[in-house]
Amino acid sequence: MLLRKGGIREAGGRFSVVHDRVLLYPTYEHQQPHLLKANYASQVKPVDSGWHPDLIRIGSWADVTDTIQVSAGDRVAALMPFHIWNETFIQERLKWKPHQPLYILLLRIYKLNSPQWIPYNSAYGGCKSWIDLTDAIALEGTPVLSDSDYHQMTAAIHTIGTEC
């Protein structure tokens, strides 16, 4: 599950889902451990603004299976078990552009059969939700969750996202 409101460079100033199948590109900009739940915060190594590795490892991809728009704080709070962010981050996201909803993207994740290393390109940087890679990567891989586990989890998220 991803939570998105969009970056400052979104087309038209608003977030939208522009692809239904995406590679998962690791980012380093704006990493702030204090906005993560404690068991995830220790996994983040803060870097200087603008830093990036010369080579980027792409090891997974996802189908965007569902998009849910949420504006109510109680709905977002009820979804806490399904993501890595803490309450501070959630409140900041809800307050930023308060008239725009928070988008919940449910992703069916796959590990690539052969992870790829790609060179960093300056066009990949900045506050963007989507980037287009200069080289294609074959989307072949194994699902991280079984079909039944994935459907059970997404059903629970849908129930929370629409009932509160």
pLDDT (tens digit, 9 = 90+) per residue, 71-86? 888 888 899 999 999 9
Question: Which pTM was predicted?
Answer: 0.85
* SS3 annotation, 2-54: EEECCCCCCHHHCCCCCCCEEECCCCCCCCCHHHECHHHHCCCCCCCCCCCCC
Tell me what pLDDT residue 162 has.
64
Please list the pLDDT of the chain residue by residue as tens digits (164 residues).
988 886 666 666 677 888 899 999 988 766 788 889 999 998 888 888 778 899 999 999 999 999 998 888 888 889 999 999 999 988 888 888 888 888 899 999 999 999 999 999 988 887 777 888 988 999 999 999 999 999 999 999 998 866 54
